[in-house]
Amino acid sequence: MRVIQTGLSGCVVLEPRVLADERGYFYEAFRLTGLEGLGISPFVQGNVSRSAQGVLRGLHYQWPNPQGKLVSVVEGEVWDVAVDIRQGSPHFGRWTAVVLSAENRRRFWVPEGFAHGFVALSEQAELHYLCTAPYDREADAAIAWDDPDLAVDWPVAEPVLSPRDAAAPRLGQVQESRLPRF
């Protein structure tokens, strides 16, 4: 597996070694013993999300009880984003993004303390993500996808949003007690 560093410490792209021939292909999608050195904790929950083209989900996080997420796409293509929202971090408010697709088979590690979001670029996109903590409704939170202070360069101008995501506050409007610390 190749580890590709991003501009944010802790966020990495994992590119598997694919063995392919005329019969098809094989690759190792997950092995804990390669990930521990990257600071990736054991996973306790797996989720699947399917979205139509132009659907934007995020920017979501949990606090307290944060989740780290190992995100991959099994069908289609998405533009996947992580935003550092850890108070005191030298990268607070900065974001990084990667294209994940069934074709490139890349996985994106979004550490605890980061907000996560994506937009479906293909007609349909199906994501699979492993989480380091279970979903906690009381800790669930969101930040505005179009927060001008973050200036995330989304590849869509008018995404399809849930009511929750459309009403999410800007990062500067979130109470300090509802944000993780570095």
- State yes or no: pLDDT of 74 exceeds 90: yes
| pLDDT score of 41 more than 90 | no
User: Which active-site residues does the annotation give?
Assistant: 60, 129
Confidence of residue 144 (pLDDT cuts 50, 70, 90): very high
Residues 6+ apart with CB under 8 A from 73: 100, 101, 102, 125, 126, 127, 128
Q: What is the mean pLDDT of the chain?
A: 95
Burial of 158 (0-12, 13-18, 19+ CB in 10 A): exposed
pLDDT band with cut points at 50, 70 and 90 for residue 38 = confident
Mean of pLDDT values over 41-53: 95
Question: Structure tokens of 82?
Answer: 């992580």
C-alpha closest to that of 93 among 155, 168, 151: 151
Residue 120 pLDDT: 98
Query: DSSP letters along 62-121, please?
Result: ESSS---EEEEEEESEEEEEEEE--BT-TTTT-EEEEEEETTT--EEEE-TTEEEEEEE-
Looking at the domain 2-173, which fold is it?
A: Jelly Rolls (2.60.120)
Mean pLDDT computed over 99-110: 97
What is the per-residue pLDDT for 35?
75
